[in-house]
Amino acid sequence: MKHLTFLIALIPIFAHSQKPCTCEAELDALYTNVRTLTAYKTQIGNKKYDEYKRKYEYLRKEAEKEKEVFPCLIILSKLLYSINNGNMGIHQKDFKNLGKMEPQVITMKNSHFFEGEYKKYNPVVNINVDSLTKVLKNKPELDIEGIYEHDLLKAAVYRTHKRDSIVGVVIESGHPNWEKGNLFFIMHEQSPNNFFMVNALDFHNTYDFMKHERFSNGRLVFSRWNKSGKNYFYGQKGHGLRVENKTENIQCLVFGVTKKYNEEVAAFIDIINKTVDAPNIVLDIRNDRYGRDNLYNPLMRFVKKYSKKHKVYVLVNAEVMNRAERFVADVKGKENIYILGEATSGVLAYGYSREKTVKSPLACGNFEFYADNEEYSKYLKYEGIGVQPDYILSPSSDWIEQTINIIQSK
């Protein structure tokens, strides 16, 4: 199997193709948008500016030859490779402006809609899927290659002849709009276990370019493809912010799902200040993709004071991002504070703000560009990499139990 350029050649001619518009016009619009970003202004300068412009001019020559939407997305994505902003990408717009349908509205009555309007556009990989599945089914969990599951889909994930190019092809489907042999995603390895990714949306059959995907503990973190089906790294935290007594010497502060965020946060901080007094506390902030100042600012004050006489353990996974991740970076390495789990997401240097998130359709209506656009420059060293834990936890058993065992062994 060849690299991305060969994969593009396998893609059938799409009936929807492009409007009377060109891929180079899309690239020009993307180039204009990128140069307005904080990440561009802080990372691309002097000689780098000339290099980046040359890259754009080279890609423009490729774009001039391209008439189809999906291969154009591959070309556009390359313009974003050299800018380090974890939450940045390009979203392919829906076919014929049909609008998005969420999973909960798909019923037997409208499933034919997906077969008729979406399935026929799917790229097909020219490979013997059955033979591929046999080769991959016994791959170890910590090998990127193997058989993955995602909702109603199974995919074979394998490296092409070029080691940094990885393909995901559907081998089983419970979706009416996906079939065995369909190309679901392509990844390009930028550093060990970190990837650029062009990934399909299950129910729309359109593709996104994701600037940042991570392989960790047998799963692709942000697209939620999983080899083992285990979810110990996610935890079963339920609803509400609460304090749980685990042993006489260990209390756990659980950051569950909140319905009325501001009211629950205020009550939670009050409870922490009044009831937390154990020699060891665990902050379980797994899965917090956003976080807010009104939680993490008072929590930081509490942790700084508490860690002077007690030990604090912060439990994280690769879905900790933005404000929550900046909290982890701030406490990392402080006396009596320990990070446990796996590396955080690496999406923290440009924040998350609806007011400052850039969203811009490109020239032809086929794509939308998006990027976080705050600036937290002191965290740039963690962008795309994440904050590394002091204790790496195993994916094969409960992380709270592992944390308690570590505390009790000290």
pLDDT tens, residue by residue, 265-293 = 999 999 999 999 999 999 999 999 888 89
* Sheet arrangement for strand 337-341: 241-247, 250-255, 280-284, 311-316, 337-341, 391-392
N residues, the chain: 410
- Render the burial of 378-390: b for 16+ CB within 10 Å, e for the rest: ebbebbbbbbebe
For domain 241-341+376-409, give the fold. Answer: 2-enoyl-CoA Hydratase; Chain A, domain 1 (3.90.226)
Q: What is the pLDDT of residue 205?
A: 77
Q: What is the pLDDT of residue 112?
A: 44
The domain spans of the chain are: 4-226, 241-341+376-409
Residue 371 pLDDT greater than 90, yes or no: yes
Residue 265 · residue 249 · CB < 8 Å: no
Q: What is the pLDDT of residue 5?
A: 41
Please report where in the chains the tokens 């505390």 appear, as a residue.
407
Residue 16 pLDDT greater than 50, yes or no: no
Q: What is the pLDDT of residue 356?
A: 67
Burial of 191 (0-12, 13-18, 19+ CB in 10 A): exposed
181 — alpha (psi -120 to 50), left (phi > 0) or beta?
left
Q: 117-126 pLDDT, tens per residue?
A: 667 778 899 9
Q: 130-168 pLDDT, tens per residue?
A: 999 999 999 998 899 999 998 889 999 999 988 889 999
Q: Tell me which of 380 and 239 has the higher pLDDT.
A: 380
Task: Kindly state the average pLDDT of the residues 299-321.
Answer: 96
Q: How confident is the model at residue 406 (pLDDT cuts 50, 70, 90)?
A: very high
User: Who contacts 105 (Cβ-Cβ below 8 Å, separation ≥6)?
Assistant: none
Residue 14 pLDDT greater than 90, yes or no: no
Of 258, 348, 276, the residue nearest 312 (C-alpha) = 276
Q: Tell me which of 265 and 235 has the higher pLDDT.
A: 265
347 is written with which tokens? 């999406």
Q: How confident is the model at residue 93 (pLDDT cuts 50, 70, 90)?
A: confident
Cβ atoms < 10 Å from Cβ of 47: 8
Residue 228 pLDDT greater than 80, yes or no: no
Q: Are strands 225-226 and 219-220 parallel, antiparallel or unpaired?
A: antiparallel
Q: What is the pLDDT of residue 240?
A: 82
Q: How confident is the model at residue 354 (pLDDT cuts 50, 70, 90)?
A: low
